[in-house]
Chains A and B, each alone.
Chain A
Amino acid sequence: MKESQDRKKSKWLTGGLAFTLAMSTILSACSSSNTGSNTGSSGQETGGEASKGSAGEGPVTISMMYNDNPSYPFNASWPVLEQFQKLANVKLNIQPTPDADYENKLKIVLSSGSAPDLVSFVPLKVYTEFAQTGVLLPISDYMDKLPNLKQKLDQYAISDELDNWTLKDGKVYGVPFMFESNMYTTAPVIRVDLLKKHNLKTPTTMDELYEVLKKFKEADPKSFPMANLNGAVGLINLSGSAWGIGPTHNGFMFNSDKNEFEYSYTSDNYKQYVSYFSRLMKEGLADPEIFTSSTDQWKQKMATGQSVFTYTWISELGQINADGKKNVSPDFELAPLPPIAGPGGVKGPSAQRIISAYVIPASAAKKPNFDKLLEYVNWMYSDEAINLGTWGIQDETFVEIDGKRDFTDAVKNGGSVQKALWNIGASNNNLTTVFTYDWFSKVLNSPLVDKLTVEANEKGWFPAVQKVPKLTPADKEEETMRTTTVNDLFMRTQEQFIYGKNSVDAGWDSYVKEINEKGVSKLLEIYNGTLK
């Protein structure tokens, strides 16, 4: 007994010893590799700083927080990235942060005052929250050093959109990532092969849409003709303007005739909206998971023919059509339609040409590389940088003949233009600042979208830019507090109305009363107060 215990003990000891040894090897290996890479990078950084001292020779290091999108995972050896650094004569020290948690990290980094020199892809919501607090640099104060940006802003006549990024103090705290012009990229899409098969007319109004969906349901009683993506918010974003209830700022629309803000989701139009969808739901014309489908589930519904109508990005149709042809029939074709008219008229989805902003922390102004940073930001708006960030590398991925740009045949015939661009680091939301019209149209490569865009501009399908009220910090706080309550109530009752748990006719008045009391009245007071 004792002997066996001894043996066990010695075994344990040897085991422990081996473990400790293994651990220490790993520890030392790791720490040595760490120090290795540390000295490597710090060496380069000191190199940069040293050269800063000697009259700006050699690249200056600019650190940058980067939104790492899983569609094009960050790769330090992208040729476009190398070109960016070479042409701008900077060294970009990029900190890729997963898209999944970007906003979280963004908030932590900004509130703890440890933001890098440049932060890309800051959405309006986060921007307004932090611009108020003074952690961001008022870039509008430095416009004289950013002539390229100024030129692009004038050229694109984007002042309406930019106004929403301007704070009450009249300053702008970021530089925009923007589209040159609106494109008809999201649309109602329908199975045109089925329209033809059942000899139906393309729907142009919500009532006609109802009739068409009803016919589809009769033809295939097991189906749910309408599906939706991105939940209740997604549906309102893409179809709201046709119903006259969008685009909004937290549900509030600016009425330019009366010169005041109004709450959309207590309007008659919104009442019609919920009544319409509750009827679709009741008659089995809309997918019961209309507000909960994930992207994958939604794709499955569309590609198996379970649903035949939805609102979505036209660029998603290629893949769904390919899968649909395999699963349903060789004729399978989902195609975009012009906007379906509702009480708001023939209106497409909201048009925001500024998608996000690049921001610089206020602390960067004191750093030695600040001048170079501004120079780099200005360079990002040069045609050279925009070409590189969108079209890629001249004569490799694109050619320019007589001022007209097009992709090379190798890129065009490679299966997917987008993929080819992603592979070299172009078409990247963190490196480029402008998506020009001709570029976007060539990437989409859909004559139909071009045609619809021309039509949209001619017929005024794009709704006016939604006005965002300019709030004082105290009002902003009040807004944040109230908005949560109001939105919760709005979402909850919307679901109850549409799923028929609460009848629209019976429950409407008490809903309006409750939501006004819960904060809408107060918010209207705040918002309209900003107009005086």
Chain B
Amino acid sequence: MLYRRSTGFKWFMAFNSFVMLCITASILFPFLHLLSVSLSDSGAVVGGRVGLLPKGFNLEAYARVFQHPSIIAGFKNSIIQTMIGTAIGLFLLTICAYPLSKRALKGRKPLVLFIMFTMFFSGGLIPTYMLVKSLGLIDSIWAIVLPFSITPYYLLLMMTYFQGIPEEIEESAMLDGLNPFRILMQIVLPLSKPILAAITLFLTVYYWNNWFNSMIYLNSTERHPVMMIIRNIIVGSDLAGNVGQVGDTGDRVSTASLKAAAIMSTTLPIMVLFPFTQKYFAKGVMIGSVKG
């Protein structure tokens, strides 16, 4: 123990833990509530009697979500989009960030500025759509993973990280006869595991959650990712009357339960990733903040 545990310190620790508990609870409770809503009986949900524990336990809302004709294909598409998108993104970011992290590179500054420019100004939705269309990518997965594979912000994170690796290591590797590509593969990347893990996580979450690009660029249901389907369940017309239809009067699953079940079944897969990558994640977001 480096410091004595004074009474003041104990109080501080107790207070600290209390505040932390409150914050944790404020994050956890809505989540638990949603979980129990998804598992509860329609009457109890509509009656507002569901708290942190389900009332009238049933799995009907989940059954309804998984009865959706495209949901299984949706999960498959999401996984494919996420894996391909992350792999391509990671690859392109690495081979783009590494040379740009070298101060000796001629024209480095204009290049970086050129890339950073896109952080603040974009072509707009319709021009981007026309571009993707003229490249013939509409209604294919490449429209989702190619145009958005390099995110300037992640590129800057990686560049900063690569710059932090002492040049002497690379110089000695060069003396030992390695070419730049092997230096990247055998020296730099093994030293950059935290940033690679962090970017992987960022990209995975991005591709898993992204429905907008799929909505714009994909036309066939068999290619739609699960998030797009879930979003429609949650945000689409929840009142048939609004669109000139008659509601389903005999429905036993309340829309609130259905929405909760839809949210739970898509959030859980991505949430289980966090505990495994958390240590890298914490490091990843701090990259660039400490110099020297």
Q: Do A and B come from one complex?
A: yes
Q: Which residue numbers of A lie inside 8 Å of B, CB to CB?
A: 8-9, 12-13, 16, 23, 26-27, 30, 34, 37, 68-71, 73-76, 95-101, 104-105, 108, 111-112, 114, 121, 177, 179, 185-186, 229-230, 295-296, 299-300, 303-304, 312-313, 315-316, 318-320, 322-323, 326-327, 355, 415-416, 418-419, 422, 427, 429, 435, 440, 443-444
Bound-state CA distance A202–B94 (Å) is: 73
Please name all residues of chain A whose beta carbon is closer than 8 Å to the beta carbon of B186 when the two chains form the complex: 9, 13
CB of B245 closer than 8 Å to a CB of A? yes
Are A418 and B70 in touch, CB under 8 angstroms? no
Of B18-26, B146-154, B216-224, the one touching chain A: B216-224
Query: How far apart are A348's CB and chain B's nearest CB, in angstroms?
Result: 14
Can you report 29 A-B residue pairs in the complex whose CB atoms are below 8 A from each other? A9-B190, A12-B189, A12-B193, A23-B87, A30-B141, A34-B141, A68-B221, A70-B236, A70-B237, A71-B237, A73-B69, A73-B232, A74-B69, A95-B219, A100-B232, A114-B129, A114-B133, A121-B243, A229-B239, A296-B256, A300-B48, A304-B47, A315-B241, A319-B247, A322-B43, A323-B46, A323-B47, A418-B246, A429-B244
Please name all residues of chain B whose beta carbon is closer than 8 Å to the beta carbon of A9 when the two chains form the complex: 186, 190
Are B241 and A75 in touch, CB under 8 angstroms? no
Please name all residues of chain A whose beta carbon is closer than 8 Å to the beta carbon of B219 when the two chains form the complex: 95, 97
Please name all residues of chain A whose beta carbon is closer than 8 Å to the beta carbon of B242 when the two chains form the complex: 230
- Tell me whether A75 and B69 are in contact in the complex, defined as CB-CB below 8 angstroms, given that A27-B84, A101-B215, A114-B133 are known contacts: yes
Query: How far apart are B185's CB and chain A's nearest CB, in angstroms?
Result: 8
CB of B238 closer than 8 Å to a CB of A? yes
Report which of B42, B68, B237, B247 forms a contact with A318, defined as CB distance below 8 A: B247
- Tell me whether A315 and B240 are in contact in the complex, defined as CB-CB below 8 angstroms, given that A304-B48, A323-B46, A419-B250 are known contacts: yes
Residue of B nearest to A312 (CB): B241
Are B129 and A73 in touch, CB under 8 angstroms? no
Bound-state CA distance A312–B247 (Å) is: 12
- Tell me whether A318 and B250 are in contact in the complex, defined as CB-CB below 8 angstroms, given that A111-B126, A304-B48 are known contacts: yes
Query: How far apart are B100's CB and chain A's nearest CB, in angstroms?
Result: 22
Please name all residues of chain A whose beta carbon is closer than 8 Å to the beta carbon of B247 when the two chains form the complex: 313, 315-316, 318-319, 418
- Tell me whether A99 and B248 are in contact in the complex, defined as CB-CB below 8 angstroms, given that A108-B125, A300-B48 are known contacts: no
CB of B255 closer than 8 Å to a CB of A? yes
Please name all residues of chain B whose beta carbon is closer than 8 Å to the beta carbon of A230 when the two chains form the complex: 239, 242
Residue of A nearest to B80 (CB): A30
- Tell me whether A418 and B84 are in contact in the complex, defined as CB-CB below 8 angstroms, given that A98-B232, A327-B46 are known contacts: no
Query: How far apart are A133's CB and chain B's nearest CB, in angstroms?
Result: 13
Apart from A312-B241, A419-B250, list 8 A-B contacts with CB within 8 A: A34-B141, A95-B219, A98-B232, A105-B215, A111-B126, A230-B239, A319-B250, A416-B248
Query: How far apart are B101's CB and chain A's nearest CB, in angstroms?
Result: 20
Compute the total of residue contacts between A and B using a CB distance below 8 Å. 177
Residue of A nearest to B67 (CB): A73
Query: How far apart are B118's CB and chain A's nearest CB, in angstroms?
Result: 20
Are B46 and A418 in touch, CB under 8 angstroms? no
| Chain B 77-93 interface residues, beta-carbon cutoff 8 Å to A | 80, 83-84, 87
Query: How far apart are A339's CB and chain B's nearest CB, in angstroms?
Result: 17
Are B243 and A98 in touch, CB under 8 angstroms? no
Bound-state CA distance A444–B248 (Å) is: 10
Are B221 and A96 in touch, CB under 8 angstroms? yes
Please name all residues of chain B whose beta carbon is closer than 8 Å to the beta carbon of A34 when the two chains form the complex: 140-141
Please name all residues of chain A whose beta carbon is closer than 8 Å to the beta carbon of B244 when the two chains form the complex: 177, 179, 355, 429, 435
Report which of A8, A70, A304 forms a contact with B233, defined as CB distance below 8 A: A70
A-contact bits for B171-206, CB 8 A (1 contact / 0 none) = 000000000000001100110010000000000000
Query: How far apart are A230's CB and chain B's nearest CB, in angstroms?
Result: 7
A-B residue pairs, 4 tightest by C-beta: A313-B241, A318-B249, A326-B43, A416-B250
Please name all residues of chain B whose beta carbon is closer than 8 Å to the beta carbon of A444 when the two chains form the complex: 246
CB of B168 closer than 8 Å to a CB of A? no
Please name all residues of chain A whose beta carbon is closer than 8 Å to the beta carbon of B261 when the two chains form the complex: none
Residue of B nearest to A98 (CB): B232
Are B133 and A98 in touch, CB under 8 angstroms? no
Report which of A16, A318, A327 forms a contact with B43, defined as CB distance below 8 A: A327
Are B222 and A323 in touch, CB under 8 angstroms? no
CB of B130 closer than 8 Å to a CB of A? yes
Please name all residues of chain B whose beta carbon is closer than 8 Å to the beta carbon of A429 when the two chains form the complex: 243-245
Residue of B nearest to A108 (CB): B129
Please name all residues of chain A whose beta carbon is closer than 8 Å to the beta carbon of B233 when the two chains form the complex: 70
Please name all residues of chain B whose beta carbon is closer than 8 Å to the beta carbon of A114 when the two chains form the complex: 129, 133, 138
Please name all residues of chain B whose beta carbon is closer than 8 Å to the beta carbon of A326 when the two chains form the complex: 43, 47
Residue of B nearest to A294 (CB): B238
Residue of A nearest to B234 (CB): A100
Query: How far apart are A336's CB and chain B's nearest CB, in angstroms?
Result: 13
A-contact bits for B121-145, CB 8 A (1 contact / 0 none) = 0000110011001000010110000
Bound-state CA distance A299–B253 (Å) is: 13
Are A76 and B221 in touch, CB under 8 angstroms? yes
CB of B228 closer than 8 Å to a CB of A? yes
Bound-state CA distance A439–B226 (Å) is: 35
A-contact bits for B45-70, CB 8 A (1 contact / 0 none) = 01111000000000000000000111
Please name all residues of chain B whose beta carbon is closer than 8 Å to the beta carbon of A419 when the two chains form the complex: 248, 250-251
CB of B231 closer than 8 Å to a CB of A? yes
Please name all residues of chain A whose beta carbon is closer than 8 Å to the beta carbon of B246 when the two chains form the complex: 315, 418, 427, 440, 443-444
Report which of A74, A229, A303 forms a contact with B46, defined as CB distance below 8 A: A303
CB of B268 closer than 8 Å to a CB of A? no
Bound-state CA distance A441–B47 (Å) is: 30
Bound-state CA distance A180–B192 (Å) is: 68
Residue of A nearest to B244 (CB): A355
CB of B160 closer than 8 Å to a CB of A? no
Are B243 and A355 in touch, CB under 8 angstroms? yes
- Tell me whether A185 and B46 are in contact in the complex, defined as CB-CB below 8 angstroms, given that A9-B186, A100-B231, A318-B247 are known contacts: no
Residue of B nearest to A444 (CB): B246
Query: How far apart are B244's CB and chain A's nearest CB, in angstroms?
Result: 4
Bound-state CA distance A69–B68 (Å) is: 12
Are B221 and A319 in touch, CB under 8 angstroms? no
Please name all residues of chain B whose beta carbon is closer than 8 Å to the beta carbon of A105 when the two chains form the complex: 215-216
Query: How far apart are A302's CB and chain B's nearest CB, in angstroms?
Result: 9
Are B241 and A98 in touch, CB under 8 angstroms? no
Query: How far apart are B166's CB and chain A's nearest CB, in angstroms?
Result: 15
CB of B254 closer than 8 Å to a CB of A? yes
Bound-state CA distance A266–B250 (Å) is: 43
Please name all residues of chain A whose beta carbon is closer than 8 Å to the beta carbon of B158 when the two chains form the complex: none
CB of B271 closer than 8 Å to a CB of A? no
